[in-house]
């Protein structure tokens, strides 16, 4: 019985901590679209610590959750385009099984030549956190990986 319980517990816990962020720009729309995928339980744990509040992304108040996610992302993810900091608008989030997708965007972005990203997403809760980034400019894709203490990278297009 104990062995079965241990196996079930191991299956329920995910053994790695990763987020994936996609930053995409298309010159014909001059919009920068950003999406980040987190394990829901990791994001909830981080938001609880960040807000000093109870956070329930699946069943909690959507507007309160949006406020905490937006505040957290603005503090822990900065994007510069051509050396100018982007003030993105948080669009919302959705739960997809064990993951939470967060969406945000910025408009009227000039031609992208340089993208600087500074991020320490979930580092304060999971020291082994891996943050993957895919930067796509007019179909040209470049990828990066950040692990603590590394928190920034630059791509040229």
pLDDT tens digit string along 118-151? 999 999 998 999 999 999 999 999 999 999 999 9
Instruction: Say whether pLDDT at 6 is over 50.
Output: no
pLDDT band at residue 13 under the 50/70/90 scheme: low
72's tokens = 């957290």
Instruction: Say whether pLDDT at 3 is over 60.
Output: no
Pairing of strands 89-96, 77-81: unpaired
**How remote is the C-alpha of 138 from its chain's centroid?**
21
Side-by-side strand order, sheet with 77-81: 84-85, 77-81, 114-119, 152-156
pTM: predicted TM-score of the whole model, two decimal places: 0.87
pLDDT of residue 14: 53
Q: H-type helices in the chain, by residue range?
A: 2-12, 40-51, 62-76
As a whole number, mean pLDDT of residues 150-154 equals: 97
């Amino acid at each position: 019985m104990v062995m079965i319980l241990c196996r079930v517990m191991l299956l329920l816990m995910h053994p790695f901590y990763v987020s994936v962020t996609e930053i995409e720009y298309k010159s014909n729309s001059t919009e920068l679209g950003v999406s980040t995928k987190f394990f829901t339980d990791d994001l909830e744990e981080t938001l609880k610590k960040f807000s000093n509040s109870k956070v329930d992304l699946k069943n909690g108040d959507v507007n309160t959750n949006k406020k905490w996610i937006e505040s957290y992302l603005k503090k822990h993810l900065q994007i510069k385009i051509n050396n100018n900091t982007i003030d993105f608008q948080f669009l919302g989030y959705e739960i997809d099984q064990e993951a939470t997708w967060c969406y945000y965007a910025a408009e009227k972005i000039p031609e992208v030549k340089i993208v600087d990203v500074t991020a320490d997403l979930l580092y304060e809760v999971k020291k082994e956190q891996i943050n993957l980034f895919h930067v796509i400019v007019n179909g040209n894709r470049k990828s990066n990986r950040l692990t603590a203490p590394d928190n920034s990278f630059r791509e040229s297009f």
